[in-house]
Amino acid sequence: MSAPSTTVATQTNCWNCSASTAGAHFCPACGKIQPFAPGGDYFAFFRLPRKLTLDLGALEQRFHSLSWKLHPDRFAQAAENERQLSLDLTSQLNDAYRTLREPVARAEYLLSLYGMRKEGQKKQQAPPELLEEVFELNESLDELREARASGGSESQMAGLRAKLDSAQHKFESSLADVDQELARVGTEWDAAIDSSADEASRKSLMERMNEILNRRSYIRNLVNGVRQELTAA
C-alpha cells in the first residue's frame, strides 16, 4: 500500500483549448466544463485533503455552489458532450456529498481508497468484550421466536420483549461508544496528515479505524436485528 496522498487535484488539460485545468471543474482559460480528473476521488471533487474532520457548513456551501454551476439545465443548449459531462458530474457530486457529510461513511470511504474497506470483506465477528452479551441476546431471540411460533402467553411475550428492549438499549450505548472511538482515531489521522507522518504510522491508524468499523458494523447489525424482532413480536 502506497503512502496516503493529501493532494486535492490532478494535473490535466482542457479538452477544448488544452490549457492546464489542475483538476478544476471548469477550464480557467476557456470556461468549458471538464471531466473529473483521472485518479480523483470524493475529497478531490470538493478540493479537500483526505481528512476525517470536515467543516460540514463549508461542505454544504460547496455542494450548493457546485450544484448550481453543474446543473444540467445550465447546459441545455450546449454540445452533447458538455451536457453529458454535466449529468456525470452532477451524479458524482451527489454521491460525494452523501458520503462525506456522514462521519462513518466518510471513514469507510477513506479506507476504501487504500483497499482496506472492500464490500463483502468486512469481518463479522463478535467483539471479545461483548461475547457474553451476544450469547445472551441470541438466547433471548430464540426464546422469543419459539414463544411466537407456539403461541406463548401475553405475559411471557411481554417479558421477552422487555428483555430484548433492554439489550437493544445496551447495544445502542455500545454503538455510541464506538462512534466516539472512531472520532478520536479520526482526529489522530488528521494530525498525522498535517504532520506528514510516515507511512507506517498512517497505516497503523487505518488498521485501527478498520477494526473499529468492523466492530461497529457487527453491533449495528445486532441492534437492527433486535429492532426487527421487536417489531414482529
Q: Where are the domains of the chain?
A: 1-101, 128-232
What pLDDT is stored for residue 6 in this prediction? 47
115 three-class SS: coil
What pLDDT is stored for residue 9 in this prediction? 45
Whole-model pTM over 0.75: yes
Parts of the chain with a pLDDT under 50? 1-4, 6-9, 120
CA distance 173 to 176: 5
Cell of 215: 466492530
For the stretch 54-70, pLDDT in tens is 999 999 999 999 999 99
CA distance 74 to 61: 19
Counts of helices then strands in the chain (DSSP H, E): 7, 0
CATH superfamily of the domain spanning 1-101: DnaJ domain (1.10.287.110)
Burial of 125: CB neighbours in 10 Å, binned 0-12, 13-18, 19+: exposed
For the stretch 118-166, pLDDT in tens is 654 555 667 777 777 888 888 888 888 888 778 878 888 888 888 888 8
CA distance 132 to 120: 26
Selection from 223, 228, 221 nearest residue 144 by Cα: 228
Give the CA angle between residues 43, 46, 47 to the nearest 5°. Answer: 80
CA distance 193 to 187: 10
Residues 6+ apart with CB under 8 A from 66: 25, 46, 93
